[in-house]
Amino acid sequence: MNGLGLVKGLALTFKHFFSTYVADIFGGKNSIRRRGTIDADGLFTIQYPEESVVIPEEFRVIPFLVYTLGEDGQRKYRCTACGICSKVCPTQCIWITRMKDPETGKPITSSQEFYIDVDKCMNCGTCAEFCPFDAIKMDHDYRIASYTRGETHIYPKPQLGKPLEYYAKIRPLNYAVEEAERAAKAQPRQ
Amino acid sequence: MTDQPGLDPTYSDLLNEFPQAVELEARPGFTGVVVLTSALIDVMTYLRDRKGYDYLSSVTAVDDFPEDKLEIVYLLFKTTGGGIIELKVFTQRDEPVVPSITPLYQGAEFQEREVWDLYGVKFTGHPDLRRLLLWEGFSGHPLRKDWKEPFYEEEVKPFKTRWPEGKGVRSENLNPFKDNVQYPRDFDPNTYEPDADRSVYKLLESQIPAETGDFKVDHLVVNIGPQHPSTHGVFRMAALLEGEKVLALKPVIGYLHRNHEKIGERNTFVQNMPFTDRMDYLSSMSNNFGYAITVEKLLGVKPPERAEYLRVMMAELTRIASHTMAIGFLLNDLGAFFTPSLYALEERELILDIFESVAGSRMMCNYFRFGGVVRDIPEETLKSVKKLVEDRLPRKVDDLDRYLTDNEIVRVRCEGIGVLTAEEAIAYSASGPILRASGVPYDIRKVDPYSIYDRLEFDVCYRQHGDVYDRYLVRLDEIRQSLRILKQVINQIPEGPIMTGKVQYMVKVPAGEAYGRVEGPRGELGFYVVSDGKPNPKRYHVRAPSMINTTSLEKMCVGGKIADAVTILGAVDVVLGEVDR
Amino acid sequence: MEANQDLYKPGYEIPEELRQQVTITTLERIYNWGRSNSMWPMMFGLACCAIEMICTAASRYDFSRFGMEVMRPSPRQADVMIVAGTVTKKMLPQIVRLYNQMSLPKYVLAMGACACGGGPFKEGYNVVPGIDTYIPVDVYVTGCPPTPQGLLNGLLTLQKKIKMEQMKETGWYSKEPVVEVPIPILGPDVYDPRKSDLIYTETHKPEVLSTEESTMEGESK
């Protein structure tokens, strides 16, 4: 019959509309938290600046360099300037200058300068995947809007550095696994 | 020579039939036969008419620089199933000329234009040999090995300037124009006359029929796109209209040509993986899958069992996400502005959540590696996949089905529109839902099974009419079949490792060539990779299903109304990242 | 009144008893507040980022909560152009033409690494290294692609920028005619008409070029 398909379609839309209220009335306290998830019925919206979608641990944006704070307040980066991340980077957006001993001129396992061009970075996570020292990791901070570009979009080393505690906070499971591995490696020597 | 073990009998038949013109490929790691240029048409006709190789999968070229040689590679299949036949034609690099096979296989039209555009090979007898991805007037043929792009740094990655003496420098600062441009030495911008699409308009105007009788008819050229809400990106159709009737229609593509293949040849094998994500950006897992199995063919590694299950799980979730979106946007094009899309996008969001927790990114997953996958699926995520597949998605697909399938407007607008018969669909090398909606049950998961698809139960969905409505129904059926596959995968997934060996960032790929293909959501997604033993591929070609499906767009649209052209494009479901690469 | 805290700052002391009854603000502020909460984006997608833009418009993130619900495919009716995706040379003339066709006040948000500065495909021969070389950009949102929340954050950043604008300084009430951005031309490579003198001098200096080519190959031709 003509018009039946139309009515059916409208019925579905109305069902969707009213199921929000049904879920709110019968869903109890958690009904709002369920919005935008697999259990959602009806309204699906997450009110972004006030609440945000739960970010999974593996989520990746721009890489950052892990450091620990030394006793004198100096940042001790884990990076040894081995250059694997800059070699494996698909877009070649990582620049590393290896530090040299000021007296002998021989290279030291530390980076003097470290740049990432965020305008080229494709957030693929390859650098973090292949880093043998767990020194470069993928960040969770997606709020990176800016008014200018220019040189500010080539992040230098101080801007890239983030403390180890931050890493442990955003990726607790990965951090636990890596720490366990480190402990296992350190064991035989003692 | 002719009874080599393991050789496809067709090759020996070819060698017997054309003893003068055909010889077996001798290089180790390479397969197929080399055909003399003069005999190409005869060999192709023989293969098509006598041997049943009716499906031209891919035409591409390989540059053998510094040798003075260009190879044109043809890959053929039977739609009834079976192995590949690979033909090669050698031609010299300066002024290469090869006979066109477009009169035999219409599906070669765009691919030959692409080869002309990027390699400068002239195809004699081609009906319309213009540049495809770049514009008329562009200087040079960029995929040639000796052609350098303006931001050229080094021949291959990794670049030596990055480590150990790397300083953050933009490429713009190295170029005198402060931009990604270069000009011929005698270029004078003040006197230059640009082509400005004159070639397209001329071609369209040549299709205006001669006036008959006293009744005067006006003809109108209309450009739809590149910025148009219903072209799904930056696609452009230049149409010649008589009233509302389409007399001729030329797709103009290349507005998103991102030089995937040129960059792919500079990259190492591992570096190409995240680039494949960005090709068909609605189904990155499928692209990863295709590239991974191609390089695995060259490497000779096999992923462990759990990884195979994870791969199939991700590929099928991608198919559901892509098809729901395709259905939603088809309805958008019909005028049901955004309501069905919103419902479709809700389900897609939930699937993207799974990708995000497994791979780390919603769209650009970068999840596959040669010999496995990056990381295991978390227990929590597996549970939500299960819930999604067993409870939510079937319900929502039924909703969508109830809502749309019997709707009068959908039926009136879709039935009998954009018809492609089975013979035409095969001749135009259409693949995926387009081919199957025309009554050809050709699904690579069934006819040439890869991964674990030979162990899974599912049906090939196909319909008989070949119109827009059938393409919609095939997509709907495929979602249901994907759910069926996913249920089996979730129940059977074994424990175990997810990687064969350790992931290496410099993979040693032995010299040779491989063509791997998967059934992506849009059709046969093939990767043709040639390695010469170095860390970078010598040739990296993508057989993009969307692009080859657009070859038949003119055929489907001509004779119909202009409003239907939009619907037909929606049903072809192009993704411009893949069309233009 | 609680919700409009940013509106309710006239810059001088208001008596306590009045505070609950009326809202006092400056004309500037209410004008910008109105404008920033009815930004209509242009329905204009280029590549992968466009899909995330659609997701931002769709039900889960729903940018109509910020008055952006009406995505207009026509540049005449749009206020903000979200350049979502890789800008190729072939597409560039169309983008500049669309920008010129937008009516004032107009804003540009470069979404994704590609639109900001070339992105992963920057080294390609058909890719423009950042749309800001051709048209002015107000907000850059990097990421490849930025998640819908990242884009929303960028749009809120744009709203903040609009709220800081002053009527005196805005260009759209001045009597001067609006200067259009010249549309690039597709020649042997895309070229900006503003740069034609530079191009002429660079392509017509044979001696320097030939030595340069031998030392720093491929950098210029």
* Substitution target from B131, B145, B151, B329 for chain C, most C beta carbons within 10 A: B151
Looking at the partner chain, which of B339, B346, B375 has a beta carbon nearest the beta carbon of A44?
A: B346
Residue B339 to residues A92, B392, C147: CA-CA distances in angstroms?
Answer: 42, 19, 22
The total number of residues written for chain A in this structure? 190
The pLDDT value recorded for residue B115 is 92
CA B195, chain centre distance (Å): 28
> Which among A6-20, B105-119, B146-160 has the top mean pLDDT?
B105-119
pLDDT at residue B314 is higher than 60? yes
Burial of B494 (0-12, 13-18, 19+ CB in 10 A): exposed
- State whether A81 and A164 are in the same domain: yes
Q: Is the pLDDT of residue B474 over 90?
A: yes
Give the residue from C140, C64, C131 showing the smallest Cα distance to C109: C140
Domain carrying residue A36: 1-53
The answer to whether A91 contacts C122, with C-beta atoms less than 8 Å apart, is: yes
Domain membership of residue A23 (yes or no) is yes
A73: in domain: yes
How much is the pLDDT for C218?
Answer: 43
Q: How many CB atoms lie within 10 A of CB B502?
A: 7
Contacts of C123 in chain B (CB under 8 A): 149, 151-153, 171, 259, 263, 266
Q: What is the pLDDT of residues B197-209, one digit of tens each?
A: 888 888 888 888 8
B469 at interface of A, judged by CB pairs closer than 8 A: no
Task: Check if B180 contacts C (Cβ < 8 Å).
Answer: yes
User: Containing H/E element for B77?
Assistant: strand B70-77
Please report, for chain A, how many H helices and E strands are present, in that order.
Answer: 6, 8
**DSSP per-residue codes, B242-268:** ETTEEEEEEEE--TT---HHHHHHHS-
- pLDDT confidence of residue A27: 73
Contact B254 C202 (CB under 8 A): no
What's residue B405's pLDDT? 85
Query: For residue B290, what are its two tokens?
Result: 């295709």
Distance from the Cα of residue C139 to its chain's centroid: 6
Q: What's the pLDDT at B165?
A: 82
Q: How far apart are CA C9 and CA C29, in angstroms?
A: 9
Residue B72: per-residue pLDDT: 92
- Return mean pLDDT, chain B: 88
Cα separation, A83 vs C44, in Å, equals: 40
Q: What is the pLDDT of residues A139-185, one digit of tens each?
A: 888 888 888 887 788 888 888 888 989 999 988 988 899 889 888 88
Q: For the segment B218-246, what is each residue's pLDDT rounded down to a tens digit?
A: 888 998 878 888 778 888 889 999 888 89
A3 and A84: one domain?
no
For chain A, what is the domain count? 2
Residue A164 lies in a domain: yes
Percent with pLDDT over 70 in chain B: 99
Chain A residues with CB-CB distance to B166 below 8 A: 86, 94-97, 113, 115
pLDDT at B3 over 60: no
- B115-172 pLDDT, tens per residue? 999 999 999 998 888 888 988 888 889 998 888 888 888 888 888 888 888 887 888 8
Over range B476-484, report the average pLDDT: 92
- Partnered with residue B518 across adjacent β-strands are B525
> How many whole angstroms separate alpha carbon B23 and alpha carbon B35?
7
Write out chain C residues lying below 8 Å of B275, CB-based: 120
pLDDT score for C10: 65
Q: What percent of chain B has pLDDT over 90?
A: 25
Quote the tokens at residue B163. 């480590």
Q: Are residues A43 and A78 in the same domain?
A: no
Question: CA C158 to CA A145: how far, in whole Å?
Answer: 9
Name the residue of chain B whose CA is nearest to C97's CA. B227
Cα–Cα distance for residue pair B526/B287, rounded to 1 Å: 9
Q: State the DSSP H helix or E strand holding residue B222, giving kind and residue range, or none if neither.
A: strand B220-224
CATH number at residue A156: 3.30.70.3270
Give yes or no for residue B83 having a pLDDT over 50.
Answer: yes
Q: Check residue B136 and give its pLDDT.
A: 86
Burial of B460 (0-12, 13-18, 19+ CB in 10 A): middle
Task: Label residue B67 by pLDDT band (50, 70, 90).
Answer: confident
The per-residue pLDDT of chain A, averaged, comes to: 85
- All domains of chain B in start order, with CATH: 9-124 (3.30.460.80), 198-207+217-252 (no CATH), 260-580 (1.10.645.10)
**Four-CA torsion C167, C170, C173, C176, nearest 10 degrees:** 150
Say if residue A47 is in the same domain as residue A67. no
Spatial CA neighbour of A67 closest among A176, A164, A166: A164
Distances (CA, A) of B399 to A22, B403, B405: 18, 6, 10
User: Do B143 and B87 touch, CB atoms closer than 8 A?
Assistant: no
| Same domain flag for A19 and A72 | no
**CA triple B178-B181-B183, angle to 5 deg:** 120
* pLDDT at residue number C171: 72
C-alpha separations of C41 from C37, C75, C153 in Å: 12, 9, 15
Identity of the amino acid at A61: V
Task: Provide the Cα torsion A120, A125, A129, A134; round to 10°.
Answer: 80
A82 and A157: one domain? yes
Structure tokens at B41: 């048409």
Q: Which two tokens stand for residue B348?
A: 């897609």
* Nearest CB to A96 within list B163, B388, B410: B163
Whether residue A175 lies inside any domain: the answer is yes
Let me know the angle formed at the C-alpha of B298 by B292 and B304, rounded to the nearest 5 degrees.
Answer: 50
Of B195, B258, B346, the CB nearest to C86: B258
For an interface test with B, give the residue of A1, A4, A12, A85 to mutate (most B CBs within 10 A).
A12
Sheet harboring B512-520: ordered strands across? B512-520, B523-531, B537-543
Distance from C-alpha of A159 to C-alpha of A152, rounded to nearest angstrom: 10
3-state secondary structure of A66: strand
Task: Determine whether A23 is exposed, middle or buried from the number of CB atoms within 10 Å of its CB (0-12, 13-18, 19+).
Answer: buried
Interchain proximity A142–C59, CB inside 8 Å: no
Of B78, B72, B87, the C-alpha closest to B22 is: B87
Which residues in B lie closer than 8 A to residue A3 (C-beta atoms)?
408
What is the number of CB-based contacts under 8 A between chain A and chain C?
100
Asked if C140's CB is within 8 angstroms of A147's CB, the reply is yes
Report the DSSP pairing between strands C107-111 and B372-373: unpaired
Cβ-Cβ contacts under 8 Å, A88 against chain B: 158, 268, 270-271, 505
Percent helix, strand and coil across chain A, each rounded to 5?
35, 20, 45
Name the least confident of A56-60, B14-18, C62-66, C69-73.
C69-73
B379 in contact with A, Cβ within 8 Å: no
Q: Does one domain contain both A1 and A28?
A: yes
Same domain, residue pair A48 and A140: no
User: A94 vs A126, A136, B467, C114, CA distance in Å?
Assistant: 12, 11, 50, 17
Residue tagged 């058909």 (tokens): C126
> Would A33 be classed as within a structural domain?
yes
Residues with Cβ < 8 Å from B152, sequence gap 6 or more?
A: C123, C217, C218, C219
Asked if B274 lies within 8 A of A122 by C-beta distance, the reply is yes
Same domain, yes or no: A28 and A77: no
Flag if C125 and B139 touch (Cβ within 8 Å). no
Chains in contact with C, counting 3 or more C-beta pairs less than 8 Å apart as contact: A, B
Torsion of CA B256, B258, B259, B265, to 10 degrees: -140
Residues of C in contact with B238 (CB under 8 A): none
pLDDT for residue B482 is more than 90? yes
Q: What is the dihedral of CA B24, B30, B31, B32, to 10 degrees?
A: -60
Q: Are residues A119 and A73 in the same domain?
A: yes
List strand residue ranges (DSSP E) for A35-181, in order: 63-69, 75-77, 94-100, 107-117, 136-138, 145-146, 154-155, 161-163
Distance CA B309, CA B23 (A): 41
β partners of residue B58: B75
* Chosen from B163, B356, B370 to mutate, greatest number of chain A CBs within 10 A: B163
The pLDDT value recorded for residue B339 is: 82
Instruction: Determine the residue among C133, C142, C149 to mutate to test chain A binding: the one whose Cβ has the most chain A Cβ atoms within 10 Å.
Output: C142
The per-residue pLDDT for C1 is 41
User: CA torsion B434→B439→B442→B443, rounded to 10°?
Assistant: 60
> Are A73 and A40 in a shared domain?
no
Interface check for B157 against chain A (CB to CB < 8 A): the answer is yes
Q: Is the pLDDT of residue B352 over 80?
A: yes
Interval B89-103: pLDDT, tens:
999 888 899 999 998
Q: How confident is the model at residue A190 (pLDDT cuts 50, 70, 90)?
A: low
In DSSP notation, B456-506 reads S-------SS-SHHHHHHHHHHHHHHHHHHHHHHHHHPPPS-SBSS---SS
Contact residues on chain A for B359, CB-CB shorter than 8 A: 58
Shortest distance, CA A19 to any CA of chain C (angstroms): 15
Check CB contact of B188 with chain A, cutoff 8 Å: no
The per-residue DSSP string of B93-160 comes to SSS-EEE--TTT-TTHHHHHHHHHHHH--EEET-S----SSS-TT--S-TTSTT---TT---SSSSPG
Chain B residues within 8 A of A40 when measuring between CB atoms: 346
* All domains of chain C in start order, with CATH: 1-36 (no CATH), 48-165 (3.40.50.12280), 187-215 (no CATH)
Q: Out of C61, C142, C154, whose CB is closest to A46?
A: C61
pLDDT, average across residues A85-96 = 89
Q: Which of B151, B353, B361, B400 to mutate to test the interface with A (most CBs of A within 10 A)?
A: B361
Residues A141 and A181 in one domain: yes
pLDDT value at position C6?
Answer: 63
Q: Which amino acid is at A119?
A: D
Written as six digits, the tokens of A138 are 């993928």
Q: What pLDDT does C207 receive?
A: 59
Contact call for C116 and A143, based on CB within 8 A: no
Give the pLDDT confidence of B123-132 residue by residue, as tens digits. Answer: 999 888 888 8
Residues whose CB is less than 8 angstroms from the CB of residue B558 and which lie 6 or more positions away in sequence, other chains included? B246, B247, B248, B249
Q: A2 in a domain, yes or no?
A: yes
Angle between helices B468-492 and B562-572 in degrees, nearest 10: 10
> Per residue of chain C (221 residues), what is the pLDDT tens digit?
444 566 666 667 777 777 777 777 778 888 888 888 888 998 888 888 888 988 888 888 888 888 887 888 888 888 899 988 899 999 999 999 999 998 888 899 999 888 888 888 888 888 988 888 889 999 999 888 899 999 999 999 999 888 888 877 777 777 778 888 888 888 888 888 888 888 888 888 765 544 444 444 444 44
B527 pLDDT band (50/70/90 cuts)?
Answer: very high
| Interval B23-29 mean pLDDT | 85
Residue A76: what pLDDT? 87
Touching partners of A (3+ C-beta pairs < 8 Å):
B, C
Say if residue A62 is exposed, middle or buried (CB neighbours under 10 Å; 0-12, 13-18, 19+).
buried
User: CB–CB of C144 and A121 under 8 A?
Assistant: yes
Residues of A in contact with C123 (CB under 8 A): 91-92
User: Which of residues B69 and C208 earns the better pLDDT score?
Assistant: B69
Residue type, A69: L
ipTM over 0.85: yes
CA gap A103, B487 in Å, rounded:
65
Contact B222, B241 (CB under 8 A): yes
Assign B529 a pLDDT band (cuts: 50, 70, 90): very high
End-to-end CA distance of chain C: 63
CA distance B247 to B554: 10
Q: Check: CB of residue B138 under 8 Å from CB of residue C189.
A: yes
Please compute, for residue B95, the number of CA atoms within 13 A of its CA located in the half-sphere on the CB side: 0
Q: Are B117 and B132 in contact (CB under 8 A)?
A: yes
Asked whether residue A58 is assigned to any structural domain, the reply reads no
CA distances, B76 to each of B103, B115, B426, B481 (Å): 16, 17, 12, 28
Instruction: Tell me if B274 and A90 make a contact (CB, 8 A cut-off).
Output: yes
